[in-house]
Amino acid sequence: MSLTVSRHDPDPRLRAVLPGRRADRVAGLVIPLAVVVLVALAARLHGIDGKPYWMDEITTLRRSSLGFVALVQDSLSFHHLPLYFVVSSWFVPFGLDERIMRLPAALFGAASCAALFMVGRSLGNWRSGLAAAMLLALAPFQVQYGQEARSYTLVTTMILVGLWGLLLLARDPAAAARRWREPGAARSAWLLYGVGTALALDTLSVAVFWLLAANLGAAMIALRAPASRRGFGRNWLRAQLGVLAVYLPFIAGMVVLTKGDMGSGLDWVPPITAHSAWTTLQTVYGMRISSLIAFRIFPSSLDLLGVGWLGLLVTVLAALGLLAGFRRGLIGTVLAIALLTLPIGLAASSLVSSVWMPRYLLWSGPIFFLLAGLGVVRLPARLQIPCLLLLATLGLANLLPYYRTETKPLWNQAAAALLQDRQPGDVVLTDDPGTVNMMNVYLARTGHALTPEDWTTSIDTAAERQAAGAHVWAVHGRVGQNDPYRLDTFVDTLAPLGSDSVFRQIGIDITMMVFAPKPPA
């Protein structure tokens, strides 16, 4: 596709990646874009309330219910950027149930698929865009965070917008070097990059790795296009100043509100291991279904001999796409930098303080799928449509088990068990107050939330209540991604209560033990 610059067209960058004739626009843009958005929305809205909240989502409920100033202050005090919570607060008046509070994530998840389609189409054709976006729409990990009342799909969408702008700049360094008021200047590309990057940085701290990747990509553009270097550098500096002007005030506020303790917000992340590294790579890039709170991969109906064949197919296509990008010069270099900066940066940072978590790699998954889409159009023309159909079919078959897989602890069922059988005066004993916070989300909906008198972390207090005639409900379960509380340690502390009369295992991660009152001596 030609990228010639007309003096009568002050900014041909976006027109160059969109079909010109109406029929071409419908066939090559409107129809595939509508298909991928509808598929992405359906995948994220289906069963959106089928899995219970977990600890981080409870934070979103609480924070989004605050006034604007208090919301921003609370976000920065806990090392969080405020943009997503502001957006989430707009939904609070409609209720705090799972369908409402997860809706923003689902909408941004669908928007990320639309953005990826546009990026893929601008680098290839509608087939490359559709293949990349369809993989993103059906990837279990991406769907999971599209059903999560958190900021990850918003930051992914904004980074993809920024990446689109950066790739347009890389395609035509001469236009990127023109002053923004000049005819033929890449104003739209600069706008896409600047707005996407600024909003991503105001959403989630992990976007700083995108800022690093973008600067490395820009350095390669300047290095490989010496004739445009001066003008490109001037425009890049202006764009960076604009981005930082939007971002740095929040960082300054974070420094003030945390009293300079900027590193404590990640002290919960477990150390990186070979197991966690491999599990994460399978989760983010290999289309595998995984636990949200543990480094745990669930089997898929598409697995053969222990191999995730869909992930392997996508990896082969991504390798083809990367080779195709390198053949186009700067495009391949910028894509490789965008893909690799995040995992390498997180792994390197983990040598000092662990930050290796699957969700922090979420936004690099779409870039991997983008390369796979470019790999599809490297195939012979007669194989491209069958390959698209195969990816969509396998992707759907791979995704369906996700909806019935226990990817989160079943705190809603634990609350239901407590509500059904707990008697007045019974006491809940736990080693983690977070378990009470989780159950109270569901108990409060029926007006039966646990009060401070209803629960304790002290075995002595529980034993006293048991001696006075109360049942003791000993509850242990995971509430976060680095849970320091061990079940065996908790069980060891229960010896003063005697033998448990009822033992309940609720899903994978929650254990309940009910101890009957002790008869009078």
Q: What is the mean pLDDT of residues 263-289?
A: 86
- Give the dihedral sign, CA 252/258/260/266: negative
456-514 tens-digit pLDDT: 999 999 999 999 999 999 999 998 876 777 888 999 999 999 987 789 999 999 999 99
* Interval 303-320 mean pLDDT: 83
- pLDDT tens-digit readout, 37-67: 999 999 999 999 999 999 999 999 999 999 9
Instruction: Give the pLDDT band (50/70/90) at residue 271.
Output: confident
Residue with tokens 């939904």: 91
Inform me whether the pLDDT recorded for 14 exceeds 70: no
Residue 6 has pLDDT above 70, yes or no: no
Q: What is the pLDDT of residue 242?
A: 97
Is 90 exceeded by the pLDDT of residue 261? Answer: no
pLDDT > 90: what percent of the chain? 81
| Tokens read off for 157 | 């969408």
What span, in angstroms and rounded, lies between the C-alpha atoms of 81 and 74? Answer: 10
Average pLDDT, the chain: 91
Q: Is 191 exposed, middle or buried (0-12, 13-18, 19+ CB in 10 A)?
A: middle
Whether the full predicted model's pTM is greater than 0.85, yes or no, is: yes
The ranges assigned to domains in the chain are 17-404, 411-515
Report the pLDDT value the prediction gives residue 18, as an integer from 0 to 100: 52
Residues 436 and 180 sit within 8 Å (Cβ to Cβ) = no
Q: How far is Cα 206 from Cα 341, in angstroms, rounded to an integer?
A: 11
pLDDT of residue 263: 61
Under the banding of pLDDT at 50, 70 and 90, the label for residue 1 is: very low
State the pLDDT confidence band at 307, using cuts at 50, 70 and 90: low
| 65-112 pLDDT, tens digit each | 999 999 999 999 999 999 999 999 999 999 999 999 999 999 999 999
Q: How far is CA 59 from CA 167, 259, 269, in A?
A: 36, 21, 17
- In one-letter notation, the amino acid at residue 91 is F
Separation in Å, CA 98 to CA 48, 137, 495:
7, 20, 38
One-letter amino acid for residue 147 of the chain = Q
Q: What is the C-alpha separation between 8 and 468, in angstroms, rounded?
A: 88
Model pLDDT, residue 265: 61
Give dist(CA 5, CA 337) in Å, integer. Answer: 28
Name the percent of the chain lying above pLDDT 70: 92
